[in-house]
Amino acid sequence: MSAVRQKFSSQADPRLLTELRAIAQEEGRQFQAVLEQALREFVERKRGATPRPQVMAHFQASVEKNRRLGELLAQ
C-alpha cells in the first residue's frame, strides 16, 4: 500500500470506535494503524484475496492432525 496518507472524515458507532481504540492500546499501536489494518482486511475479504496467513496455518495444522482419518474415509 501507498505510504502517502489521505485524511478523511466519517462517523461510526461509538462502541465500535471504543473497541478499536482498546485494541490499539492493548497492542501498543496507534489508532490510525489499527483502523487502516481493519480497512485493508475488509477490502481484501470483499475482493476475494487469499486467506490470512494465520487462517491458512490453522487449516494446515488441522489437515495434518486429521490426515489418517482422511485416508481412512477415502477408502
Does 3 or 12 have the greater pLDDT score?
A: 12
Averaged pLDDT of the chain: 90
pLDDT digits (tens, 9 = 90+) for 31-65: 999 999 999 989 988 888 677 788 889 999 999 99
* Phi, psi of 35, rounded to the nearest 5 degrees: -65, -45
Crossing angle (nearest 10°) for helices 53-65 and 67-74 = 60
Element (H, E) at 67: helix 67-74
Indicate the number of domains in the chain. Answer: 1
Does residue 41 sit within a domain? yes
Does residue 57 sit within a domain? yes
Does residue 50 sit within a domain? yes
Contact 34, 20 (CB under 8 A): yes
Does residue 30 sit within a domain? yes
Does residue 40 sit within a domain? yes
Does residue 7 sit within a domain? no
pLDDT at 1: 55
Percent of the chain with pLDDT over 70: 96
- For 26, the domain range is 14-74
Does residue 1 sit within a domain? no
Percent of the chain with pLDDT over 90: 57
Q: What type of residue is 48?
A: G
